[in-house]
Amino acid sequence: MIAPFSRQIRTANFYALEVASAIGKRARSITVLGKSETPFKIFGPTFGRHIRAFIQDHTRITIRQDSLVRSFEGFDHVEHMVLKDGLCAVAQTVIIANGIHPCTSMLVGSGIQTNTMGYVIVDEQMKTNQSNVYAIGDCTEFPLTLFGGHRISLPHAHAAQFQGKIAALSITNRTNSIEYVPFIWTDLFDRHITFCGDFFTTPMANVETIVKGDIFQNTYCCYILKNDEVIAIIDCSKKAVAVQFIEIFRLKIKVKQEMIESNPNDDWKWLLE
Ligand SMILES: Cc1cc2nc3c(=O)[nH]c(=O)nc-3n(C[C@H](O)[C@H](O)[C@H](O)COP(=O)(O)OP(=O)(O)OC[C@H]3O[C@@H](n4cnc5c(N)ncnc54)[C@H](O)[C@@H]3O)c2cc1C
């Protein structure tokens, strides 16, 4: 599907950028089209602008946001796409990455409760509404107890692993007192980026951000605050800040703006000692 030295145009974001990153050097040109104004919408516009600037400068990949695809056109094979503003985007290969949905239709009629999108509804022990039936991973909607109990779906490896552990403890009648802290990692264009905290229950339009360092230098750290309290971290540095915040959030330690400003090295181990 991926032909070297061909022009690739694709839609969407998280996975699209991962695929673009993986094939980047082998394609003559790649354009990533996205619907939102900035890439990685869920992580807020500040990070979106910074990662876009990095990708545009550091790679030959073009990112076009706010570019809804209306149709694919061509004879026998795709030749171009028509965008919502009427523009034509030439394309030899198109990879569509416009979201995921759970493959749970086999549960229809089983009595196992799913939400309107088909995600299996579980409690904090990963139990479904049917006794002795558990669900974990991408197909679930679970309560984020540490952040107000809002129910979310989080299709990422760390969540699936954590939920597997919780389910195993629950099945063997052992109490679990550890609450889940969302943690996501990705490798993009020789950058290792980690995300930790609550990106889900607060609209990113209503938060403050404090950015230290920059992505180009591999020293980037973006603190996201609500009511003067850190609720999430985006880390693209070698300091493992997001990893430290897994424990900080779990222990419900409040980190405020003045603490960030008086911590030039972003080393938070002292808080955990
Ligand atoms: C392209 C891509 C890039 C990703 N990058 C990242 C990343 O950078 N970081 C990150 O944290 N996460 C990433 N993820 C997400 C991560 O892979 C998933 O969150 C994780 O694998 C979820 O684990 P899971 O066990 O819920 O599901 P899966 O790993 O998908 O396992 C589900 C298994 O169930 C099997 N199955 C499905 N239906 C049936 C059936 N009816 N009967 C029997 N078996 C069945 C499937 O074959 C599969 O083996 C990425 C995913 C994709 C697709």
The pTM of the whole model exceeds 0.75: yes
**What pLDDT is stored for residue 270 in this prediction?**
92
How many Å lie between the centroid of ligand 1 and the Cα of residue 160? 9
In CATH terms, the fold of domain 183-272 is Enolase-like; domain 1 (3.30.390)
Substitution candidate for ligand 1 out of 13, 134, 156 with most atoms within 8 A of CB: 156
Is the Cβ–Cβ distance between 221 and 233 less than 8 Å? Answer: yes
The set of protein residues with a Cβ atom below 6 angstroms from ligand 1 is 15, 18, 103, 106, 137-138, 155-158, 160, 184-186
Q: Please give the C-alpha separations between residue 116 and each of 105, 120, 125, 141, in angstroms, as whole numbers.
A: 12, 10, 21, 11
**What pLDDT is stored for residue 120 in this prediction?**
97
pLDDT tens digits along 201-245: 888 878 999 999 999 999 999 999 999 999 999 999 999 999 999
d(CA 95, CA 22): 13
User: Does residue 125 surpass a pLDDT of 80?
Assistant: yes
Superfamily for domain range 7-95:
FAD/NAD(P)-binding domain (3.50.50.60)
| CATH number for domain 106-171, candidates 3.30.565.10, 3.40.50.80, 3.40.720.10, 3.50.50.60 | 3.50.50.60
**What pLDDT is stored for residue 7 in this prediction?**
41
d(CA 167, CA 189): 35
Higher pLDDT, 7 or 246: 246
Q: Whose CA is nearest to atom 45 of ligand 1?
A: 103
How many Å lie between the centroid of ligand 1 and the Cα of residue 138? 7
Nearest-atom number in ligand 1 for the CA of 186 is 8
How many Å lie between the centroid of ligand 1 and the Cα of residue 182? 17
How many Å lie between the centroid of ligand 1 and the Cα of residue 156? 8
pLDDT tens digits along 57-79: 988 888 888 888 899 999 999 89
User: Does residue 5 surpass a pLDDT of 60?
Assistant: no
The half-sphere exposure of 125 on its side-chain side, counting CA atoms within 13 A, is: 15
Say if 7-95 and 106-171 have the same CATH topology. yes
Name 232's bridge partners: 197, 224
Of 86, 141, 93, which Cα lies nearest the Cα of 113?
141
Q: Whose CA is nearest to atom 52 of ligand 1?
A: 15
pLDDT tens digits along 129-188: 999 999 999 999 999 999 888 999 998 899 999 999 999 999 999 877 889 999 999 999
Judging by DSSP bridges, how do beta strands 191-197 and 183-188 pair with one another? antiparallel
Could you give the percent of the chain with pLDDT greater than 90? 60
d(CA 265, CA 267): 5
Q: Whose CA is nearest to atom 42 of ligand 1?
A: 106
Higher pLDDT, 128 or 24: 128
Strands (E), 75-149: 80-83, 88-90, 93-95, 120-121, 140-144
- Over the chain, what is the mean pLDDT? 89
**What pLDDT is stored for residue 237 in this prediction?**
96
**If pLDDT is split at 50, 70 and 90, which confidence band does 12 have?**
very low
pLDDT tens digits along 68-107: 889 999 999 989 889 888 888 888 888 888 778 899 999 9
Domain borders along the chain are 7-95, 106-171, 183-272
How many Å lie between the centroid of ligand 1 and the Cα of residue 153? 13
pLDDT tens digits along 174-207: 877 889 999 999 999 889 999 999 998 888 878 9
